[in-house]
Structure 1
Amino acid sequence: MEKFLFIIREDLSKLKQWNEEERYHAIREMDKWVKTLIETGNYVSGDALRISGSYVNKGQVLSDGPFIEAKEGISGIMFMEATDLPNAVSLAQTCRFVHTGEMAIEVRPLMGVKDIREFGDEGRTGH
C-alpha cells in the first residue's frame, strides 16, 4: 500500500457564513464518509483546519489566513493508504461533497522520505 495526502478544498467564504447547525451537519456527513474509509482500511488519519491562520513567506507574516486572495482554500487534510494513485482518486470520488461540487480533493502521493535523523550528519556519497 502507498500513502497519500488528501487536501480538502472548499469555498472558505461560504464556510464562514454557516451557522452552527450547518457546520455540525457537514461534520456528521464527513464522519459517515470517514467511517467507510476506516472500514475498508484506507484511512490513516486526518483533521479539519480552522479558517483562521497566518501566511508566512520570506518578507512577511500575514495574519489574514493561509488563503490570501483565494476563494477556495484548504479546509482539512487526510492521510490515506491505497494501492496506487488511481485507487486513491477513486476513494476521493466517494465523498458526497465531491459529488455535489461543494468540495474538491487534491490527491497527492507521499514520497516516503525517511526521517532525516536516520541519515545522520554524514554527507551523502555517490550523488
Structure 2
Amino acid sequence: MKKFMFLIREDLARLAAMTEAELQEDIAAMTAWAEALAAGGHLLSGEPLEPETRYLRKNHIASDGPFAETRESVSGYFLIQAESLDHAAQLAAGCPSLQEDKIAIEVRPLMIYA
C-alpha cells in the first residue's frame, strides 16, 4: 500500500465562531471517522493543529498566512495508507465534515525514495 496525507482545510472564521458544543460535536464525528479508517487498516496517524501559524519565505515571515486575507487554513492532518490516489480520495470522501461542507480535504501522496 502507498502512503497519503489528508490535509484538513477549514474556514478560520467558522472555527472561531463555533460554540463549545458545536466543536465537541465536530470532534466526535471526526473521531468516529478516524476510528473507522483505523479499523479498516488505513489510518497510520493524525492530529489536529492549532490555528496559530507562521508562513515563511526567504525574506519574509507572516504571522497569519501567506496573505492578510487568508480565511482558510490547514487545521489538521491524517496519514493513511491506501492502494492508490483514487482509493485514498474515496476514503477521504467518507469524512462526515466533508459531506456537510464544513471542511475541504487535500489528498496528497507521500513521495517515497528508494
Q: TM-score, normalised by structure 2?
A: 0.91
Within 5 Å, which residues of 2 pair with 1:49-60? Answer: 49-60=49-60
More displaced, 48-57 or 59-68? 59-68
CA RMSD of aligned residues (A): 1.5
Q: Which amino acid in 1 is paired with 2:93?
A: Q
Q: Deviations over 1:95-119 (max 9, x none)?
A: 01111111111101111136xxxxx
Contact 1:7–1:106 (CA under 8 A) maintained in structure 2: yes
More strand by share: 2
Q: Which amino acid in 1 is paired with 2:73?
A: G
Q: Secondary structure at the match of 1:31?
A: helix
Within 5 Å, which residues of 2 pair with 1:1-127? Answer: 1-65=1-65, 68-113=68-113
Q: Distance in 1 between matches of 2:64 and 2:104?
A: 22
Q: Deviations over 1:48-87 (max 9, x none)?
A: 1111121111112222346742222111111000011111
CA shift in 2, pair 1:19/1:67, >3 Å: farther
Q: Secondary structure at the match of 2:44?
A: strand
Q: Secondary structure at the match of 2:79?
A: strand
Unaligned runs of 5+ residues in structure 2 are: none
Report which of the two structures shows the higher radius of gyration computed on alpha carbons: 1
Q: TM-score, normalised by structure 1?
A: 0.83
Identity %: 39
Q: Distance in 1 between matches of 2:66 and 2:97?
A: 22
Q: Distance in 2 between matches of 1:72 and 1:20?
A: 20
Q: How many residues align?
A: 114
Q: Secondary structure at the match of 2:41?
A: coil
